[in-house]
Amino acid sequence: MNGLEKLWQEALEFEMQGKIDKAIEKINTILKEEPERYDMRVKLGELYYVLGDIKKSIDEFERVVKAKPDYTIALYRLGISYFRATRFSDAIKVFHHINTVEPELYMSSYWEGLAHYHKGQFKESIEAYERLTENCLCGTLSYYQLAIVYKAAGKYKESIRCLKEIIKEDPNIVSAHYHLAMAYLGIDNQDYAIKHLKKVVELDPEHLDAKRRLKMLTDPEELYTFEVPPL
């Protein structure tokens, strides 16, 4: 084992021990000697991400992608780093590119949908999540996000359909019952909204918003006491 490989093994050991700063120091030493070790530069970007230094994380991934435009792992990590930095437009471009060159990496569609959602681009977000659900990819996660975007776009019936699929798989997901109640309120079906709010409180007795909404729906006098919160 040569000196640089020894440094690499030491970096990995430091990472396993949670000594991220020391791992970064070792990898930077290697890259001074071999700046084109892109696998190590990806690892460096990941370590900066773990530390919360997103700017440096982005810098490292951008260097790799500039040299190797279709290096999927670097692209994927770059997209997530852009997302973390709230650079949603940049994240969308990266994930869209991944979907073009390596469509089987389905999580890129998930992140693309999430970035569109944060930009208020519900149509594009829905299209991304519908691709996932149509191919039975990403399971509950994609159904959940699709339901949230449908609800935000005012497509309450579509949101209900997705949330029912989630509850069919696991009837004890608190957030699914909560959003299902909100979607039923969106179509003025208070009976079903009450049913699912009761389930939320049963599963999570400390869920204050569910308790508040339930009280408002079951006690008309509360409507005069509280301002009706948004869906």
Predicted TM-score (pTM) of the model is 0.84
pLDDT tens digits, the chain, 231 residues: what are they? 577 788 889 999 999 999 999 999 999 999 999 888 999 999 999 999 999 999 999 999 999 999 999 899 999 999 999 999 999 999 999 999 998 888 888 889 999 999 999 999 999 999 999 888 877 666 788 889 999 999 999 999 999 999 998 999 899 999 999 999 999 999 999 999 999 999 999 999 999 999 999 998 987 665 544 455 566
Q: How far apart are CA 182 and CA 185, in angstroms?
A: 5
The tokens for 104 are: 């089987």
What is the C-alpha to C-alpha distance for residues 145 and 143, in angstroms, rounded to an integer? 6
Q: Are 96 and 124 in contact (CB under 8 A)?
A: no
Tell me the DSSP string of 106-134. Answer: THHHHHHHHHHHHTT-HHHHHHHHHHHHH
The Cα–Cα gap between 196 and 114 comes to 26
Domains of the chain: 1-105 (1.25.40.10)
Those residues with Cβ within 8 angstroms of residue 104's Cβ, 6 or more apart along the chain or in another chain: none
